[in-house]
Each structure stands twice: as C-alpha cells, then as structure tokens.
Amino acid sequence: MHVHLKFYTNEKQRHNGALLYEWLLEEARRLGAPGGSASRAIAGFGRHGRLREETFFELAGELPVQVEFVLEAGPADKLLELLRAHEIGLFYERYAVDAGVL
C-alpha cells in the first residue's frame, strides 16, 4: 500500500542547520522514498492566523512550503517516527493512495 505524506513548513524554518524542507527531502530519500517535492505557496496562513503573501514588500522566508511524498507505508512510518524523535512539531497529512506508472 502507498501513502501520500504532505508536510507544511515555511521557507526559513531550519532543523540541524539545514532548511527544513531540504532536510525532509534528504531524510525521506535516505529512508527509501522513490521521490519527493517541495513547493512554495504564493499565499497562506497557519495555526497563528497571520496571512503571508508574496509581494514586493514581504520579507523573504515567510511563505509557506509544502513537502510531499508518495511512498510505501513502511518508509512513511519511519519518516514520521524520525520527525517525532526530533520533536519538530510539524503539521502533516497522511492518507492512502493508489499509485503506479502507466
């Protein structure tokens, strides 16, 4: 069974000296994920309710970033365990998906 994992962070959030979205991609690759991507939003708000938008005057690093993976359940579980162990406090979604190549 495959699962889709999506994590929500921002451009400047860091972990162990690396940008969090880069760290997530690297750790997922190390755990056997077949691929992943990070996408920056043009606008968004999170649990604090502050709207962030891409404008000329917006400070760099405040925009939301979504990091997504479609992978087997085993590596997905390992990635979530790793995040819990590092106590990052990252919001995520997980759901079952049908995935394949045609």
The average pLDDT across 19-32 equals 96
pLDDT in tens, 61-102: 678 899 999 999 999 999 999 999 999 999 999 999 998 889
- Write down the pLDDT at residue 43: 75
Residue 102 forms part of a structural domain: no
pTM: 0.85
Computed on alpha carbons and rounded to an integer, the radius of gyration of the chain in Å comes to 14
Residues 100, 70 contacting (CB under 8 angstroms): no
Query: What confidence score (pLDDT) does residue 91 get?
Result: 95
As for how many domains the chain has, the answer is 1
CATH code, domain with 91: 3.30.70.120
Dist CA 13 CA 26 (whole Å): 15
